[in-house]
Amino acid sequence: MDRRQFLVGCGCCGLVGAFPALALATSTNTDVWQAPQRFQRPLAGSEEGGLWAMMDREEAKLRRSMFLIKERPLNDYLTRIATRLAGEHSLDIRVYPVRTPLFNASMAPNGMLQIWSGLLLRMANEAQLAAIIGHEIGHYLSRHSLDRLRDAKSRSAFGQFLGIALSAAGAGGTAPLAQMALVAGMFAYGRDQEREADRIGLELMSKAGYEPMEASKVWAQLLAEINAEKDWSGAPAEKSVLFASHPPAVERQDDLVARAKRLSAGQLSPYEGDYASMLAPYRREWLEDELKRRKSGETLALLEIMLQRSPGDSELRFFLGETYRLRAADGDMERAMNEYRAAAERPDTPAELYRSMGMIQRQQGDHQSAKDSFRHYLAARPEAVDATMILSYLEKGS
């Protein structure tokens, strides 16, 4: 199954175009927003109907995808959040968690809502996730995708654009951000549409009992990650797909905070404990996926933010050490060893930590320490897939 189909309707939380349909009711004299009635499926011969049919075909492919996360507890959890936010529209929404390490969520006009694991990994609590889902529902309720379709002038032109976008996207979730930026350039919403989706998302959050101030924290974390990557690799933050079509970062941050202050009653919950419990069974493999992105600056920033929330977390310390070890810049081996030693003081230390320590010690010529680390690893993981290789290191004595 080709991952490229995941980018159909891709939103990067509204960054790559999703394709919602039909109407929104907004007062012209006040800032109060009112949700529209449930949508009816458009006629098959209409431009909207053609778009819905296209998304129906992509949804059928998505259901068969090897990258779809099918565990029922996670799917039920995400569906409950969407239901709280969307009200009667939730009857028309299907949520699909997808295992791919980029930050992305998207909403299609037929009710297909994708949420990628790279996004789920970055949320600190349920309220932050609700901010993202609420934003996507905002696009859906505001018929923004129909505007994008009309911009393409005709269904044939739209289909040609879509084919080019899918070809450019290539491997989907593992494609370089530069490729995703190309897709964003074709289907990105306008900044006014992004502002509108932000406003609606905050309203939905507040009405559902979530603390709306958490929305601005998501944006701040993403900006910190992008800037950290820029500091490390020189990648221009302003060209990131994450910020391709949204309002300027400072303006958006200020707007989210100001609106959240007006909406917050001071007693709304972020649901942090519930979210941590949901994330726990998946976090290890999603952190491994994050390492494979080879975006050291972003990964280090992410792990530092996560450690600020859980400073005694040995698994996060291990992955921070792994990021340094794999980056291998000047001083990184010592930084990695410091993180491994800090993690080793905890009772829930990942066994793989000792393998990584042994690799560094072996590289540095400290063969006795390397042997001790490798033995510790094999004692905890005798059936490890790399056990034969580690045994060979012990037998060679170097």
In the chain, domain spans: 3-263, 282-396
3-state secondary structure of 21: coil
pLDDT of residue 230: 83
pLDDT 10s digits, 302-350: 999 999 999 999 999 999 999 999 999 999 999 999 999 999 998 889 9
At 249 the pLDDT is 67
* Residue 84 confidence class, pLDDT cut points 50, 70, 90: very high
Digit-coded pLDDT (tens) for 214-226: 999 998 898 889 8
The pLDDT of residue 19 is 29
Rounded to whole angstroms, the Cα distance separating 84 from 368 reads 57
Closest CA to 233 of 289, 176, 284, 285: 176
Q: What is the pTM of this model?
A: 0.82
Residues 161, 113, 85, CA angle at the centre, nearest 5°? 135
Which class for 28: exposed (0-12), middle (13-18), buried (19 or more C-beta within 10 A)? exposed
| pLDDT tens figures, 255-272 | 888 888 888 666 667 788
Contact 17, 148 (CB under 8 A): yes
| Calpha distance 134→121 (Å, rounded) | 18
- Cβ atoms of 134 and 201 within 8 Å: the answer is yes
Host H or E run for residue 389 = helix 387-396
Least trusted range by pLDDT, from 2-11, 53-62, 353-362: 2-11
CATH code for the part of the protein at 282-396: 1.25.40.10
pLDDT, tens only, 21-73:
333 333 333 456 678 888 888 888 887 788 888 888 888 988 998 999 999 99
